[in-house]
Structure 1
Amino acid sequence: MLRTPGIRLDRTQHAASFFNIDESDAESYRYSDEIPILQRTDDMVFERPNKKTGGITFDELVDRLLAPKMSRADSNFSDIFLCLYRKFAAPGRLFSAILTRLDSVKEDKSIHYLTKTSTQLRIIEVVAKWVATYPGDFARPAVRNRLEDFIRHLSTEPIFAAAAQQMRKSLDFNVIEDDDTGWVVEEDLEEPQGRKDSLAPSKRSDYSDSFSSLGVDDPVERRPSASSSLQTDYGVAGKLHSFQFHSYEDYEREAATMVPTSTLPLTKFRYHIFMDTADEDIADEITRIDWVMFSSIRIRDLVRHVSLNADLKAKCKAMQNINRMINHFNHVAKWVSNMILMRDKPKHRAQILEKFMNIALKLRYLNNYNGLAAVLAGINGTAVHRLSQTRALVPTDVQKRFARLVLLMGTQKSHFAYRLAWENSPLPRIPFIPLHRRDLVSAEEGGQTLVGQEGDRINWKKFEILGEVLLPIMKSQGAPYPNLSKHDTARELILDCRMPTDDEEIYQRSVEVESTTGTPLETGKKKFPWFAK
């Protein structure tokens, strides 16, 4: 059964009233359908926000973060909170709140030892997940020193040794200060008073083996996804060389090599190479490039991108990964248009157009919606769409299949068809980044972060809507494409062709090969101006 999209973010004119209604946050605390009715108790529902006040306090959010995970919604809450809490709290404040709750668990004499140990392990596991996923939050000396003291204390307790070792690996190898220019609550630079963190008694417990999620030998990764294995295709023999990407840095280094160079002229020779290259190879290479660029984007980079103004974006180094993918999207669209307009005769242009329509279908089968949208943008652009003689030569069955792809990625009902396909597409998949970015902008601008009479309560409904956009992207980054092959010929065609990038120049070439009267213009210059070089 298909799942239908849960929200529509196109109605920005009503967004402010939607995000800030007094009862919005209460919806977050309703029982999930995943919890049987007989298992629901008053303890599972946190204190509901005062309807007259609106919003949720920071302490209520921390309590929910550390509470038992009873449903998928609780697990999703943890991911959303750790990603977005920096917009209303500093890492030191969150860490202090967690340590305070650990102290209160230790001091509680009314609960059984095993229950107390289980609660402490659950809280420590949240800290371990936080350190492994967002190590940059602990780059400041004040917070890092407190975390190191906390880890040293954990390492003295055998039952907590696994968690201590996992956090130690993250601190030793992965902590690099994030570029948090302008979008986060700044950390208090004053060193806090020394404190003794309280944990469970030093008595050894035989029940530590049951908490296998805190494995000592698990590799520490700086990205939520598993490693991606890619293959490189060299030579006629098709010899494959595999290499793996394990971290955001690996993907960033590879993505930096995928900037267009504009070295190969668009000639008849390039046309024959393109036509001789299999559709699957070109679609695979487009998908491989899109996947590397998509995987180099940290989830918080998307939040920064919609939270900063133009001046702050220019100062923020973290924007380069998103900007690179956006620029590549535009490059592919213009590359498609230029390739179609390369030849003077309609029959040759029709062959290229048909090939790109087939490539678009391959991209759909690969669930690469970003690459699919880029190819569609090139084909449906004004310069190519007006070529009636060329389209008339494309087989009817190919045009019908392509028309279905146009409907899939169409803007009707706020991209309803795409949203439905995206939510029901199996992994691996690549999202249509421009649309999801627009959704984030609508959610960010549609509601305030802090509400209440004194501005000290958090409008969590806004963050839930941000999470509905971000969580599927997190999930997609966690499932890489298996055995993607690097095709050097297709890569050169995509990234290295020298072509015009000005829309007016591309349109003039379109008019030159097929005028408004349906016949080519009689000009002494039938080729592109860049052919002469």
Structure 2
Amino acid sequence: MQDSDIKEQQNTTTNEIIQTTDYQKHPRKILLQDPNIDRSKWFSQIMEKHPGLRDLHERLYPIERAGCFAQIFSFGSTDVKENITEDIVIQLVMQHLKCLGLHKTQEALEEESRVQYQEHYFKNSRLKTLLRVAIMQIEKIFDIVLEPKSHKDSDTVQELIEHLINLGYEDEEEENLKEDVPIWDEPPDSDQNILYMEDTDSLQDEIKAASLNKLVEALTAQKGGGIKIETFLLTYQSFTTPKILFQKLVQRYHVPKVGESTEEEYQNKRKAIQLKVVNVLMKWLENFFSHFNKSLIHDLREFIDKILAQDNLNLANRLRSILEKKEKGFDAKKTIFEPPNLPEPIIPKNIFSPKLSIFDVNEEEIARQLTLIEFQVYTKISPTELLNQAWNKAKYKHRAPNVLAFIQRFNDVSLWVATCVVRRDKPKSRANIINKFIKIAEHCRKLNNFNGLTAILAGLNSSPIFRLKKSWEIVKQSHYDTYQSLQTEMSSTQSYKAYRESLKQANPPCIPYLGIYLTDLTFIEDGSPDYLGNLINYSKRTQISKVILNIQQYQQKSYDLQYVHQIAQLLIKLKKYDETELYSRSLEVEPRVSANKPQIK
């Protein structure tokens, strides 16, 4: 070996030692800088391994997208028309700290910033209120998908500009160019602004697609325009906003005198349309008050006092009365009446024992308490949570908190059922637990709690439980027959045909299996476009509204059952394994049978 080779080898060895030492000192730095390491799957692997981290990332995702939006669509400092000073921001933060009772922190900030705190007499945090309002106002800006750290390319910028124009956030110059046609200036019916369904059995033409003006026109037509108010109000937020809808209704209220109609004909037409507009406003207020923010309530009150009261004082008083009741929190539909004779709860003898277990409780009572817990979440689901697959899209999930809570509850119950089974060491004990859950499922069925029933069946049918042959072999035959019967009723065969028939025959109260409705909504959303050309695809919204109405109809009638706090608490705080732990435990209590060994029959 030549001297040069020896020297090169020594240098290589020395470099390897240095790299090894550097890696030991700074492993993360070396890994991030090494171009030979494939890091493409790191993110997905970390997210899969740490569900909590994945959940945190989803919650912070809007902030990442906001930063990206600001970077791509940044205005120059001269374009900012309104700004607040640093002192004002510090004042807001200090007031927020005071509201939280963090007086020492507030004083420290005051000393550090040298900004003297100005005492306010607000009970709530002004910072929190301002942020909440800001989020509501800018939420639709971020409907466009922006990945963190996306590149500033012309296509992305153009997409953002077009999106902002559609939402009405464009510059003044673009605002002047935009032609928002007032409702009474909308051209006559043509293929350019309205399409009707073909080959329908309906006596009235059904709208397939239309411009917003034509939809509002049909909604408030003098002799009925083929649009149901309920259907429209359930779905309009998928294609416009409450503010724009209100503006269109106000435009529609001001009926101009056109054509050669006589004064009598004009007055009849005007009164009929105005009555329809007010009727829509009443139903909107009565059933969807959550759509009205402070600004919209202010606009509505001005319309009542300055316009409607001049034309029809009686209608103005009726609309004002509904508004005032809603603002005070009164809801006729939710008025509490004295409950009828409720069935006596089945209380275990050790109900007050700190060692109370769910296995001390009668199966029927467990089913009752499960049902009350689930119904409480189910009734909170609002129509807007069911639009645009909000529960299934990261950027919209904040719009569907109750749907997500209901889905999480279903998953928790399923995991809990499986956990209760695999925790037992002996096959007989596991079989007894399976027997108990079959009886609970049967009682859920009697209570028309199809969601709870399906969650229990999902737990029993999960791989870690289904594979426990030794346990299933000693399940009571009568219970196994019940299990098979429930399985058949909730089978997914022919799009859950058997279950859908059972649901039709069920008398409320009832908790349907929400998963089927979500599947139906997904099928409609994915199978039809939101727009046909430039027209709103209203036939799609009609289909969506039918599903939402099916969900809503079972929210009205509550269960006449007594809530038992001690039992309910056990069912709220469910102790459960995750799926990996479940399968590991399943293999532990009943190992796989080796193919080389004869199986005992």
1:504 maps to 580
Which of the numbers 570, 573, 577 marks the counterpart of 1:493?
570
Q: How many Å separate the matches in 2 of 1:442 and 1:422?
A: 20
* Structure 2 residue identity aligned to 1:98: L
1:220 maps to 331
Which of the numbers 276, 283, 288 marks the counterpart of 2:367?
283
Q: How many Å separate the matches in 2 of 1:45 and 1:236?
A: 58
1:224-277 per-residue CA deviation (whole Å, 9 max, x = no partner) reads 767698889999699xxxxxxxxxxxxxxxxxxxxxxxxx9xxxx76xx43431
Q: CA deviation at 1:450?
A: 1.8
Q: CA deviation at 1:378?
A: 0.7
Tell me whether 327-336 or 88-97 shows the greater mean CA deviation.
Answer: 88-97
Alignment partner of 1:135 is 2:135: no
1:151–1:288: structure 2 CA closer, same or farther, 3 Å change rule? same
1:206 maps to none
Alignment partner of 1:378 is 2:459: yes
1:369-413 per-residue CA deviation (whole Å, 9 max, x = no partner) reads 111111011111111112222222222222112112112222212
1:64–1:362: structure 2 CA closer, same or farther, 3 Å change rule? farther
Q: How many Å separate the matches in 1 of 2:500 and 2:298?
A: 45
Q: How many Å separate the matches in 2 of 1:68 and 1:363?
A: 48
* SS at 2:562 equivalent: strand
1:471 maps to 549
* Structure 1 residue identity aligned to 2:469: S
| 2:218/2:224 contact within 8 Å kept | no
Which of the numbers 390, 395, 418 marks the counterpart of 1:306?
390
Q: How many Å separate the matches in 2 of 1:464 and 1:307?
A: 20
Q: How many Å separate the matches in 1 of 2:237 and 2:275?
A: 24
1:516–1:308: structure 2 CA closer, same or farther, 3 Å change rule? closer
* SS at 1:410 equivalent: coil
1:11-65 per-residue CA deviation (whole Å, 9 max, x = no partner) reads xxxxxxxxxxx9x963389454xxxxxxx6xxx547x66xxxxx22323322332
| 1:408/1:418 contact within 8 Å kept | yes
Q: CA deviation at 1:163?
A: 2.1
* Structure 1 residue identity aligned to 2:424: R
Matches within 5 A, 1:60-75: 60-67=214-221
1:299-356 per-residue CA deviation (whole Å, 9 max, x = no partner) reads 211225438731443xx3x433222221111110011111122322222222221111
User: What is the root-mean-square deviation of aligned Cα atoms in Å?
Assistant: 3.6
Q: CA deviation at 1:484?
A: 2.4
Q: How many Å separate the matches in 1 of 2:302 and 2:256?
A: 19
1:422 maps to 503
2:418 maps to 337
1:388-447 per-residue CA deviation (whole Å, 9 max, x = no partner) reads 222222222221121121122222122222233233322221121222222222222222
| 1:280/1:359 contact within 8 Å kept | yes
1:9 maps to none
Q: How many Å separate the matches in 1 of 2:454 and 2:392?
A: 26
Aligned pair count reads 391
* Structure 2 residue identity aligned to 1:220: D
1:182 maps to none
Q: How many Å separate the matches in 2 of 1:93 and 1:436?
A: 29
1:67–1:284: structure 2 CA closer, same or farther, 3 Å change rule? farther
* SS at 2:400 equivalent: helix
1:324–1:344: structure 2 CA closer, same or farther, 3 Å change rule? same
* SS at 1:458 equivalent: strand
Which of the numbers 229, 246, 252 marks the counterpart of 1:95?
246
Which of the numbers 122, 126, 132 marks the counterpart of 2:280?
126
| 1:234/1:488 contact within 8 Å kept | no
Alignment partner of 1:294 is 2:378: yes
Which of the numbers 321, 326, 329 marks the counterpart of 1:166?
321
Q: How many Å separate the matches in 1 of 2:200 and 2:497?
A: 27
1:442 maps to 523
Q: How many Å separate the matches in 2 of 1:30 and 1:430?
A: 33
2:428 maps to 347
Alignment partner of 1:514 is 2:590: yes
Gapped regions of structure 2 (runs ≥ 5):
1-191, 595-601
1:156-213 per-residue CA deviation (whole Å, 9 max, x = no partner) reads 6442144223343256346xxxxxxxxxxxxxxxxxxxxxxxxxxxxxxxxxxxxxxx
1:395–1:167: structure 2 CA closer, same or farther, 3 Å change rule? same
* Structure 2 residue identity aligned to 1:513: V
Q: CA deviation at 1:110?
A: 3.0
* Structure 1 residue identity aligned to 2:197: E
Structure with the greater alpha carbon radius of gyration:
2
Larger proportion of helix: 2
Q: How many Å separate the matches in 1 of 2:281 and 2:556?
A: 20
* SS at 2:439 equivalent: helix
1:386–1:65: structure 2 CA closer, same or farther, 3 Å change rule? same
* Structure 2 residue identity aligned to 1:477: Q
* Structure 2 residue identity aligned to 1:496: K
* Structure 2 residue identity aligned to 1:463: R
1:85 maps to 236
* Structure 2 residue identity aligned to 1:144: I
Q: How many Å separate the matches in 2 of 1:512 and 1:45?
A: 65
| 1:226/1:480 contact within 8 Å kept | no
Gapped regions of structure 1 (runs ≥ 5):
1-21, 33-39, 50-54, 175-218, 239-263, 519-533
1:30–1:504: structure 2 CA closer, same or farther, 3 Å change rule? same
1:395–1:237: structure 2 CA closer, same or farther, 3 Å change rule? closer
* SS at 1:104 equivalent: coil
Q: How many Å separate the matches in 1 of 2:199 and 2:217?
A: 12
1:100–1:364: structure 2 CA closer, same or farther, 3 Å change rule? same
1:308–1:329: structure 2 CA closer, same or farther, 3 Å change rule? closer
Q: How many Å separate the matches in 1 of 2:447 and 2:490?
A: 15
1:225–1:419: structure 2 CA closer, same or farther, 3 Å change rule? farther
1:233–1:292: structure 2 CA closer, same or farther, 3 Å change rule? farther
Q: How many Å separate the matches in 1 of 2:524 and 2:420?
A: 38
* Structure 2 residue identity aligned to 1:490: I
| 1:333/1:378 contact within 8 Å kept | yes
Q: How many Å separate the matches in 2 of 1:226 and 1:429?
A: 20
Q: CA deviation at 1:124?
A: 1.2
Q: Percent identity?
A: 26
Alignment partner of 1:104 is 2:185: no
